[in-house]
A and B are shown apart, each in its own frame.
Chain A
Amino acid sequence: MSNIIETHNLTKRYRDFTAVNKLNMHVKKGQVYGFLGPNGAGKSTTMKMFLGLTRPSSGSFQIKGRSYPKDRMKILRETGAFIESPAFYGNLTGEENLDIIRRILGLPKSSIKDALELTGLYEFRKRTAGKYSLGMKQRLGLAEALLGRPPLLILDEPTNGLDPAGIHEIRTLIRSLPQKYNCTVLVSSHLLSEIELMADDIGILNHGRLLFEGTLPELKEQAAQMGYPTDNLEDTFLAMIQEDNLKRGDKR
């Protein structure tokens, strides 16, 4: 299976702090890739680099065979993104917000209804986004990312601020996207339990370094080999992170 995203020693440094350290990740086409790591692991920084919101200090990456910064505009045209928290015009309605993006992307008008229905916002389309609840704002952010059904979706903690029913709904939606719309999803979270329910492949990041990349069964296998608990994946993840933190502490 070909990779839609490939990074080669991708690094981002902020003065004396390294947010992402020689990252080599591979996101397969048509899969949901769960990007897992504790807060501050470098997940958002990596995603921001993919979108050209921050420049890599060294290394490179390719998206659909296109490289940054040469093909940034082409990459953005085919990538739907939701980073950190929803971004919208509070003075415009949900529908008007999507219309701004639709016009920039040159999509048909029907794409707005499609995205609103997909995220359950259709009945609230005429309400100004500033008056939306936190969950509705989150859904609007997702609708913006899903507009036009892009071949690649980059979602940074998309279920933040949603109620349990909303979390379930969005998880189900993300899980179904590759089959329904033939797209690839890169989704980040700091909760393994969440990623476990959505992702085909997992990448575990800690302090900017990729500790593991592979499928869930592969993670279990590796954990067993290394003597980590395997009954509960949350414990596996925590043990992995803890050991890496201890190693880093030793190095210091």
Chain B
Amino acid sequence: MILALEMKKTKRTGLIPAFLAGALAASAFPVLNIAFRTELFTSQDLPPVDILLQGNWDMLATFHSFLAILGACILYHTEFANRAIEKLYMLPVSQGKVFFCKNLLLLLLFLPVFLIEDGFLLFCARHWFPGKDPGLEILLQNTAFSIAAILPVLLLSTLIASLAKNMWVSLGIGVVCMFMGQMTVSYEAVFSKVYTFCLPYRCLLSSSAWEDIFPILGVCAAESVLLGAVKIFLLKIRRTPV
């Protein structure tokens, strides 16, 4: 029921058009990238899916992180803009449930985003690597992996957005966190392996071994649980919305 209400609250907020535009912009990137630098991509002796993901995933991950921040900001801005969240606190509804349903809604919105991107990547694979396996299975596995990797980012973004009344504050903090992830992801330090905003930059290739994937999934799960627990704790100690 709460999920349906959260869906209803997004009416006229521009959330769905924002996700659609984000998906199309992110999907256009690999097409343009390979169209302008065809030789660089087609000359590599790797499966097409690996070439495409390795060459484009950093930019796609940046889009994903930004969409997560944007979505969280839009969802909580509608709550704070006309003090609707205060009314919510006067109703017999669990604020924890509201928070988790907002995350579930964003996660569900990410599914078509990933699938649209997969569609465009498949197009690239078929068009520029004719006769080779486009790697649909790997792309779908990567989608499942990406959903797990984006979850802690969503939880952290919504947590920040739920604490700041001013949307620009949460957007600013989110963007700084996102750039920190983008800058540090290539380091070998432990920080870049566990930092929430570094996780979406990991992707699953045909050469990926499960022993490399499981630790990342473990970090995602642990961070998701931790961030959820932080929100529940904050709700317990803070009665008023902000």
Contacts and interface: CB of A to CB of B under 8 A. Distances in A.
A-B interaction: yes
Interface of A: 51-55, 73-74, 76-77, 79, 81, 83, 85-92, 96, 99-101, 103-105, 128-130, 144
Interface string B6-20: 001101110000000
A104 B13 contact: no
Nearest to A72: B92
- 3 closest residue pairs by CB, A with B: A87-B87, A87-B83, A91-B12
B89 interface: yes
A51 B239 CA distance: 10
Contacts of A85: 83
B91 to A, nearest CB: 5
B190 interface: no
A54 B86 contact: no
B1 interface: yes
Query: Mostly helix, strand, loop or mixed at chain A's interface?
Result: mixed
B5 A100 contact: yes
Interface string B74-116: 0000110111111101111100000000000000000000000
Contacts of A52: 89, 239
21 contacts: A51-B89, A52-B89, A53-B89, A53-B239, A74-B92, A83-B90, A87-B82, A87-B87, A88-B82, A88-B87, A91-B13, A92-B11, A96-B8, A96-B11, A103-B1, A103-B4, A103-B5, A104-B92, A128-B12, A130-B82, A144-B87
B43 interface: no
Contacts of B11: 91-92, 96
B82 A83 contact: no
B44 interface: no
Contacts of A51: 89-90
Nearest to A128: B12
Contacts of A83: 86, 90
A105 B12 CA distance: 24
Contacts of A144: 87
A54 B239 contact: yes
Given A52-B239, A88-B84, 4 more contacts: A90-B84, A92-B8, A96-B11, A105-B91
Contacts of A55: 239
Nearest to A78: B92
Contact of A89 (B4, B84, B93): B84
A92 B9 contact: yes
Interface in B1-59: 1, 4-5, 8-9, 11-13
B207 interface: no
Interface string B194-232: 000000000000000000000000000000000000000
A130 B5 CA distance: 19
Contacts of B240: 53-54
- Residue of A51, A79, A83, A92 with most chain B CB atoms under a 10 A cut-off: A92
Contacts of A90: 78, 81-82, 84
A4 B55 CA distance: 68
Nearest to A90: B82
A74 to B, nearest CB: 8
A51 B89 CA distance: 8
Contacts of A96: 8, 11
B92 A76 contact: yes
B89 to A, nearest CB: 6
Given A52-B239, A100-B5, A128-B12, A91 B78 contact: yes
